[in-house]
Structure 1
Amino acid sequence: MTLRIATTQPAGSADPRANGRLARELMRAAAAEGVRLIHFPEGFLSGYAKEQIADWDDVDWPMAQEEVGEVAALAAELRMWVVLGSAHPLTAPHRPHNSLYVISDEGRVVARYDKRFCSNTEITRFYSPGFEPVVFDVDGYRFGCMICVEINFPHLFSEYERLGVDCLLLSAWPVDSIFQIKAQAYAAINNYWLSLSVPGQSADLMRSAIYGPDGGHLVSVASADVPAVVTLDRDAPAVEMAMKRARPWRAEANRGEIYRSRRVDDPRSADQTCV
């Protein structure tokens, strides 16, 4: 049982209409490659706060919501799942969430991940935080969602490992090149695939990429108008060590009983000053 997924690196703008058109172009390109799930950057559809949006009053929210509907309609037509970054408006005077819409291959928003750990600027000026992880299943593969600065909170990544994800979808607008190294490391530490989607504006720092459960680099986006595609296959020999040996062993180790059951009662163990 395999699954084709794609990550993207479009250069979004403050214009939801233009961003929606670009999203649909990338969806059609991915469909030609047999993709079942396509992944977009943080804040892509609405425009990203701080960089592109200075005030939420500048956003045409009805247009943005209409564009989500157009993307969803095409998802149903193409039989494709879409994970789409966008601000999600709340009732005034509450600030929006920084979100990822999970759109099913039936053209419905079936889940939404709201960024939990916002930056200082985000939480004081732009966004309301979320509080829950989000997982969803596609063709027997489980996915989880995270956004940008959350990369600095390791317990969020291990939480998704405990929730049984096969692939983590990390949407971001990075400001330093170390971000990519952190993402690759989390794939290796947690033994799951990790799809990183960043905007075209980050191309000087990194390319959107997909990493394997052993942390290996599988593919990067070559250009803004071409998605990068990978086939997930849990039974592939290349991932056997990471997914079927290392991951179960690390889960057992984290539970700790294998160590507690071997605790020794020895004065030479208890005295940490002896040689």
Structure 2
Amino acid sequence: MNNTLRVACSQFPVRTDINANLKFIKKQIKFAAENEAEIIHFSECSLSAYAGIDFAEYTSDANQNIQKGIAAICEFAQLFNIWVIFGTHVFEGNMKKPFNCLFVINSQGEIVTRYDKRLLAGFDLDWYSAGTKPGLFEIKGIKCGLLICHEWRYPELYRQYYHLGVQMLFQSWYDGNYSEEEYREEGKDLGEVIPGFVRGNAANNKLWISGSNTCKKQQGFPAFICRPDGSIHGKLKRNISGVLIRQIDIDQQYSDLSSHLRDKVSRMSY
């Protein structure tokens, strides 16, 4: 089996306008496919925009546009023969607060799975409902996992995916839309801390990690891909739309000085 995967990691300035977001998504799907990517990964809320930041209420018109957008992305995935991971919100039944989720669409335009953000930031609690299950799927025999934004703060989630046999993790952020002052006071530091923390968890859990982010100014950090040794495999420029494309070799071996103790320590009780 060929354990390689050509990954496209996106960033674009997510806006309130769902149709404008969809245009960016379609454009970048086409670009990724034309550059032989097998899967493209978009940011948190890349279709819907972010509740409480980009819009102040849920409307039936917006929900209808989201459903149309999901269908359009499925059609584009099939048209360009590429897998797509994108963020949006969805309501189920009579729920008052939707799930903040990632959809995984295969190259036949079929929904493979949906991951609902499990650990919500305090701000999120006013707008979203929490999911309960890890997000798992396979592409070309490679086991993949999903996380969303605030979940970077919990190393237990990365370790859970390690124990589930995940080799490639796709994590989507909405870490942008800072004012100049907010970026200076908070965003710049977080923009250094978050990728550093994620790189550490990649190395501690032998994970390839693709990190997609909105690049709406000011962006906290640019989209990136890191290897299982924690080193950066490529990143985009901050505040500029783009698609990072990298070949991932799952079988490539990296130095891992903790491999002889990882399983023992990760199952310790406190």
Aligned to 2:263: 251
Aligned residues: 251
Alpha carbons of 1:254 and 1:180: their partners in 2 closer, same or farther (altered >3 Å)? Answer: closer
- 1:204 CA drift (Å): 4.0
| Ranges in structure 2 where 5+ consecutive residues have no aligned partner | 176-186
3-state DSSP class of the match of 2:47?
coil
1:115–1:147 Cα contact (<8 Å) kept? yes
Amino acid at match of 1:254: S
1:46–1:59 Cα contact (<8 Å) kept? no
Q: Which shifted more, 129-138 or 220-229?
A: 220-229
Aligned to 2:85: 83
- CA separation in 1, counterparts of 2:229 and 2:47? 32
Which among 11, 14, 20 is matched to residue 12 of structure 1? 14
2:229–2:254 Cα contact (<8 Å) kept? no
Q: Which shifted more, 23-32 or 179-188?
A: 179-188
- 1:250 CA drift (Å): 1.8
Alpha carbons of 1:93 and 1:168: their partners in 2 closer, same or farther (altered >3 Å)? Answer: closer
3-state DSSP class of the match of 2:13?
coil
Q: Which shifted more, 167-176 or 7-16?
A: 167-176
Which among 186, 189, 201 is matched to residue 201 of structure 2? 186
Aligned to 1:164: 165
- CA separation in 1, counterparts of 2:260 and 2:164? 13
Amino acid at match of 2:133: E
- CA separation in 2, counterparts of 1:40 and 1:254? 31
Amino acid at match of 1:250: R
1:8–1:224 Cα contact (<8 Å) kept? no
Write the deviation string for residues 77-117 of structure 1: whole angstroms up to 9, x where unpaired. Answer: 21211110101123334210000011111101111000001
Under a length normalisation based on structure 1, what TM-score does the superposition of the two structures give? 0.85
Aligned to 2:114: 112
- CA separation in 2, counterparts of 1:93 and 1:160? 28
**Match status 1:33 vs 2:35:** yes
- 1:121 CA drift (Å): 1.9
Aligned to 1:261: none
Alpha carbons of 1:248 and 1:173: their partners in 2 closer, same or farther (altered >3 Å)? Answer: farther
Which among 232, 238, 243 is matched to residue 227 of structure 1? 243
- CA separation in 2, counterparts of 1:203 and 1:191? 31
- CA separation in 1, counterparts of 2:231 and 2:142? 19
1:193–1:210 Cα contact (<8 Å) kept? yes
Aligned to 1:99: 101
Alignment RMSD: 1.9
Q: Which shifted more, 60-69 or 207-216?
A: 60-69
